[in-house]
Amino acid sequence: MRLPCLRFMVSMRAMLVGAALLTTAALMPDAALAQKRGGTFIVASEGEPGVLTAHLSTDTSAVMIASNVFNGLVSADFKLQPTPELAERWEVSPDERTYTFHMVKNAKWHDGKPVTAHDAAFTLNELTAKNHPRAGAWWPNVEFVRAVDDHTLVIQLKAKYAPFLILLANSLGMGTLIMPKHLYEGRDAKSNPVNRAPIGSGPFKFSKWERGSHVELVRNPAYFRAGKPYLDRVVFRFVPDAATRLIGIEKGELDFLHAYIVPYNEVERLKKSPKVQVVNRGLEMVATNEFLFFNTRNGPLQDVRVRQALAHAIDRNEIRARALFGLGKVAHSHLNSSLGWAFTDKFDVYKTRDVAKANALLDGAGFPRKDGRRFALRLTWDSGKEVEQRSAEIIRSNLREVGIEVTMQTYDRATYIEKTYRQWDFDMAIQNSTTGPDPAIGVTRSYHTRQILKLPFVNAMAYSNKELDQLFDTEYSIIDPKKRAIAWHRAQEILMRDLPGLPLFEFPVLNIASAGFVNAVSGPMGYLEGRENVSLK
Amino acid sequence: MPLLIYAAKRIAQALPLILVIIAINFTLIHAAPGDPVDVLLGQSEADPQVIAQLRTEFGLDEPVPVQLVRYYAKVLTLDLGSSFRYREPVFDLIMSRLPATLLLMGAALFVSTVVAVALGVIAARRPYSALDNSTTLFALAGYSMPVFWLGQLFLIAFALKLDWFPAQGMVSIRAPTEGFGRVLDIAHHLVLPAATYSLYHLALMFRLTRAKMQDVLAQDYIQTARAKGLTEAQTVLGHALPNALLPIVTVLGLNFGFMLAGSVLTETVFAWPGTGRLLYEAILARDYPVLMGLFVCLSTMVVMVNVATDIAYALIDPRVVYR
């Protein structure tokens, strides 16, 4: 008797939250009028995308552009609560399986045709499900997606799935930006020329793509959110070299460096410059941690005591101090702390470096020192990442103190993926991993037994724990966050005990923007979000 | 006419060479670790079905020799294939980037050659003078300095501190220009990358010109020219320089190839939208069709320039006869 009542309350709450957010959104245009209009916002991109849409890959250089041209059904606030976008409101059925989205009626594609629920159904059924690399992670939970009429979309799930709305809100990571059916139906989704000259519903319209140089977007005057956007143009300039990007922002040729390309050693100096501002938000949705993953198939690393010894021997505070120049945080869990409802640091027993304990554990595991040396391990990372290079040097130095010789092996990205994830030819790998927007999406993939596959960014460690698998297989059907958190606390306890990977640090949340703009970041997608709220100061 | 027959023969001889270059590059690229599909899909736990679909689409599930034969068949019909990453014809992609590289390279090559020959001639006339010693030192520094580092120094000094030049790209984005204004804008953006790119070449050509000119100026016929009462300018420019030019033209031809393929660093430092960066990005992404397309185009251009260099010999030195 209690359960249906609870379900009803949860549904009611979802509706009330939706209504409150809708009210807030309705008030936005008035506030919007106060913003200054005009200007060009130039965003630095380290690479050039292959296409300008988000349905084919998770390439960030593509999605950071696509988010300005397209909209998702929903987006999210900084607390990772879903907020309206193309869907102005939604209802969830009492059994938590049916989501009914009511779409805005004034949204138009940039070619003037109306945006309808048929576009949304087509996008999810035909583009996302069949092409996006991450579709396999969640699409099997979907029974059907159907447009009831032009403005009503129904998504029926096979079973309760707690992360569903936030997953839709992570439209950039999951490829759920809504695309025009009339331009994709009957054409190959991968080679459609519209992918290179996109037509969306978003705040900015595609203007031009000068190969090797930049992509220019211009203001969409018919944007469905009246008054927005404020900027005349957003330009994405491809600047591969870090030092040149830095000079670019200091010189005023660039207006935005996102958190992953900010040179950490320059932050203190940049903070003092009147020309730039540091924006300390905008990675909440991706919630990225750096890990030291262990190949649990290999020699000494098969023994959990050895992995624990390594965790005691590695000084993560030193890594934060020297590799991150004191920025960011030491990571105390396999979840990022921005996933506040699920995160706990109470199972991190390695907070203070303890060389004596590391030595005792290694002795106990049957690896005594011989001529001062116990065994050797290889340490692998992607050579394009300086922070990993610095971390690797500290790890090598730390482990030498407990008698472990570390051989450094760094490769370009393609070779690194091949060696680590395809061939499992590594002992320890430094690798960042997104843990958001929900741990069911960000964390399960790395540690579930069924994810021991020769595929990129899954469980290359060959880690397997039956209890954890069971938690992963059931937790996502618990809708109440407090009850879900209990499952995730237990998961973190197991992971911090078994240590298939040691969480090293949480990436610093700091973007650098020109001082002449406001709202350079206005949502938890940060650098990947649409720039409809950015305006001149 | 014999010249044309000679050029046609040289081009015909180069064709098998290009086919061999294709086979070597194709094999090396495919032997290198790393899968284009893994890079293409971004940092995510990709669905195995999506991966398999893409591998089939790109023909990567076939043995490398079969892929090579298919590639030959395409190239012989002048089709360089389609980029894995950009999903558009490789030829179009290269053509969209080539003008920027040719502009950068042409400007660098022209300025450095003119300056180097002039300095070389002056230095050779006054060996071990203050001017000769300082230009030699300058040339040694230019020859030894890594392009990447020099580019950074130029950026800090002339773009950031003095604010004389833009730091990146080929055009201004905040205040775009059209027509002649755009030409000036591109020229403004060209100065720093071209200066960076030219220094190594300038140093090399200077050393070569100086050495060759010193050699020629010591010849008897120069003495004779002076004895005839010719002015110093007539002697040096009319008699000495043409005889010193032959090795300079040879090196110029060779350097064309090096510079065409070696623009990666300069283009990366200055975010210059040329083929060097396209090559670099294609290597990182394992975009095999783009890599192969670039190799084919670069090899062809190097062969053509070498043929042109041979032809230039006859124009400079009437003693050269083609049979």
Quick: pLDDT tens for A218-253. 999 999 999 999 999 999 999 999 999 999 999 999
- Local structure of A83: helix, strand or coil: strand
When pLDDT is averaged across residues A299-315 and rounded to a whole number, the result is 98
pLDDT at B288 over 60: yes
Contact between B206 and B123 (Cβ < 8 Å)? yes
Token pair recorded at residue A378: 């290889």
Contact yes or no for B35 and A414 at CB 8 A: yes
CA distance B77 to B89: 14
Instruction: Quote the pLDDT of residue B300.
Output: 87
pLDDT at B222 over 60: yes
Q: What is the mean pLDDT of chain B?
A: 89
pLDDT band of residue A22 (cuts 50, 70, 90) is very low
Question: Is residue A414 less than 8 Å (CB to CB) from chain B?
Answer: yes
CA distance B245 to B317: 9
Q: Which of B36, B46, B156 sits opposite A133 (nearest CB)?
A: B46
B196, burial (CB in 10 Å: exposed 0-12, middle 13-18, buried 19+)? buried
Contact yes or no for B45 and A173 at CB 8 A: no
Handedness of CA B157, B158, B162, B167 (dihedral sign): negative
Contact yes or no for A210 and B273 at CB 8 A: yes
B115-142 pLDDT per residue, tens: 999 999 988 888 888 888 988 898 888 8
Contact between A457 and A421 (Cβ < 8 Å)? yes
CA distance A111 to B39: 33
Q: Give strand pairing partners of A372.
A: none
Q: Which of A42, A216, A244 sits opposite B167 (nearest CB)?
A: A244
Question: Is residue A454 less than 8 Å (CB to CB) from chain B?
Answer: no
Contact yes or no for B173 and A42 at CB 8 A: yes
Q: Which of A42, A43, A59 to mutate to test the interface with B (most CBs of B within 10 A)?
A: A59
Q: Which of A52, A57, A257, A383 to mutate to test the interface with B (most CBs of B within 10 A)?
A: A57
Instruction: Quote the pLDDT of residue B6.
Output: 81
pLDDT band of residue A527 (cuts 50, 70, 90) is confident
A79-134 pLDDT per residue, tens: 899 999 999 999 999 999 999 999 999 999 999 999 999 999 999 999 999 999 88
Q: Is residue B29 part of a domain?
A: no
Q: Give strand pairing partners of A76.
A: A82
CA distance B138 to B74: 48
pLDDT at B91 over 80: yes
Q: Which of B29, B41, B45 to mutate to test the interface with A (most CBs of A within 10 A)?
A: B45
Q: Is residue B101 part of a domain?
A: yes
Q: Is residue B65 part of a domain?
A: no
Closest by alpha carbon to B115, among B222, B213, B195? Answer: B195
A468, burial (CB in 10 Å: exposed 0-12, middle 13-18, buried 19+)? buried
Closest by alpha carbon to B296, among B93, B6, B60, B104? Answer: B93
pLDDT at A13 over 70: no
DSSP code, position A127? I
* Distance (Å) from the alpha carbon of A370 to chain B's nearest alpha carbon: 36
- Portion of chain B with pLDDT greater than 90, in percent: 49
Contact yes or no for A250 and B47 at CB 8 A: no
SS (H, E, C) A60-79: HHHHHHHHHHCECCEEECCC
Instruction: Quote the pLDDT of residue B323.
Output: 66
Residue of chain B whose Cα is closest to the Cα of A209: B96
Contact yes or no for B35 and A419 at CB 8 A: no
Instruction: Quote the pLDDT of residue A27.
Output: 41
Contact yes or no for A59 and B50 at CB 8 A: no
Question: B290 is in which domain, residue-wise?
Answer: 94-298
Tell me the chain A residues in contact with residue B273 when contact means C-beta distances shorter than 8 Å: 210-213, 238
More confidently predicted of A142 and A173: A142
* Distance (Å) from the alpha carbon of A419 to chain B's nearest alpha carbon: 8
pLDDT band of residue A145 (cuts 50, 70, 90) is very high
SS (H, E, C) chain B: CHHHHHHHHHHHHHHHHHHHHHHHHHHHHHHCCCCHHHHHCCCCCCCHHHHHHHHHHHCCCCCHHHHHHHHHHHHHCCCCCECCCCCCEHHHHHHHHHHHHHHHHHHHHHHHHHHHHHHHHHHHHCCCCHHHHHHHHHHHHHHHCCHHHHHHHHHHHHHHHCCCCCCCCCCCCCCCCCHHHHHHHHHHHHHHHHHHHHHHHHHHHHHHHHHHHHHHHCCHHHHHHHHCCCCHHHHHHHHHHHHHHHHHHHHHHHHHHHHHHCCHHHHHHCCCCCHHHHHHHHHHHCCHHHHHHHHHHHHHHHHHHHHHHHHHHHHHCCCCCCC
Question: Is residue A410 less than 8 Å (CB to CB) from chain B?
Answer: no
Sheet of A329-330, strands arranged across: A329-330, A501-506, A288-294, A428-434, A375-382, A404-411
Q: Is residue B168 part of a domain?
A: yes
CA dihedral A73, A258, A320, A278 (to 10 degrees): -110
Handedness of CA A410, A411, A413, A414 (dihedral sign): negative
Q: Which of A45, A207, A244, A419 to mutate to test the interface with B (most CBs of B within 10 A)?
A: A244
Contact yes or no for A212 and B278 at CB 8 A: yes
CA distance A419 to A365: 28
CA distance B145 to B140: 9
Q: How many CA atoms lie within 13 Å of A343's alpha carbon, on the beta-carbon side?
A: 19
CA distance A7 to A216: 47
Query: In A39-125, at which residue ranges do the beta strands (DSSP E only) sit?
Result: 40-45, 74-76, 82-84, 87-92, 98-103
Cis bond before residue B247 (omega within 30° of 0):
no
Q: What is the mean pLDDT of chain A?
A: 92
Residues 6 or more apart whose Cβ sits within 8 Å of residue B274: A212, B97, B98, B100, B101, B104, B263, B267
Tell me the chain B residues in contact with residue A65 when contact means C-beta distances shorter than 8 Å: none
Contact yes or no for B47 and A133 at CB 8 A: yes
Contact yes or no for B268 and A251 at CB 8 A: no
Q: Which helix (H) or strand (E) holds A256?
A: strand A256-257
Contact yes or no for B174 and A253 at CB 8 A: yes
Question: Is residue A48 less than 8 Å (CB to CB) from chain B?
Answer: yes
Contact between A294 and A503 (Cβ < 8 Å)? no
Instruction: Provide the 10 A C-beta neighbour count for residue B286.
Output: 28
Q: Is residue B34 part of a domain?
A: no
pLDDT band of residue B1 (cuts 50, 70, 90) is low
Q: Is residue B235 part of a domain?
A: yes
* Distance (Å) from the alpha carbon of B36 to chain A's nearest alpha carbon: 7
A263-283 pLDDT per residue, tens: 999 999 999 999 999 999 998
When pLDDT is averaged across residues A292-320 and rounded to a whole number, the result is 97
Closest by alpha carbon to B291, among B17, B11, B27? Answer: B27
When pLDDT is averaged across residues A64-80 and rounded to a whole number, the result is 95
Question: Is residue A383 less than 8 Å (CB to CB) from chain B?
Answer: no
A153-169 pLDDT per residue, tens: 999 999 999 999 999 99
Question: Is residue A187 less than 8 Å (CB to CB) from chain B?
Answer: no
ipTM of the shown complex: 0.87
Sheet of A511-514, strands arranged across: A204-210, A214-219, A233-238, A40-45, A256-257, A511-514, A276-279
Using DSSP bridges, classify how beta strands A501-506 and A288-294 pair: parallel, antiparallel or unpaired.
antiparallel
Instruction: Quote the pLDDT of residue A204.
Output: 98
Least confident of A14-28, A135-149, A197-211, B248-262: A14-28
For residue B291, give the CATH number of its domain.
Answer: 1.10.3720.10
Question: Is residue A102 less than 8 Å (CB to CB) from chain B?
Answer: no
DSSP one-letter string for A336-390: -TTSTTT---TT-TTSS--HHHHHHHHHHTT---BTTB-EEEEEEEETT-HHHHH
Instruction: Provide the 10 A C-beta neighbour count for residue B140.
Output: 13
When pLDDT is averaged across residues B169-186 and rounded to a whole number, the result is 92
Q: How many CA atoms lie within 13 Å of A461's alpha carbon, on the beta-carbon side?
A: 28
pLDDT band of residue A384 (cuts 50, 70, 90) is confident
Q: Give strand pairing partners of A379.
A: A408, A428
pLDDT band of residue B173 (cuts 50, 70, 90) is very high
A28-69 pLDDT per residue, tens: 444 444 689 999 999 999 989 999 999 988 888 999 999 999
CA dihedral A396, A397, A403, A406 (to 10 degrees): 20
Q: Which of A57, A211, A422 sits opposite B40 (nearest CB)?
A: A57
Least confident of A305-319, A323-337, B2-16, B88-102: B2-16
Least confident of A177-191, A197-211, A513-527, B35-49: B35-49
Distances (CA, A) of A144 to A132, A141, A148, B93, B282: 17, 9, 12, 40, 39
What's the longest Cα–Cα distance across chain A? 76
Q: Is residue B10 part of a domain?
A: no
Q: Is residue B61 part of a domain?
A: no
When pLDDT is averaged across residues B86-108 and rounded to a whole number, the result is 93
Tell me the chain B residues in contact with residue A210 when contact means C-beta distances shorter than 8 Å: 171, 273
Contact yes or no for B43 and A214 at CB 8 A: no
Q: How many domains does chain B have?
A: 1
Rounded to two decimals, the pTM is 0.89
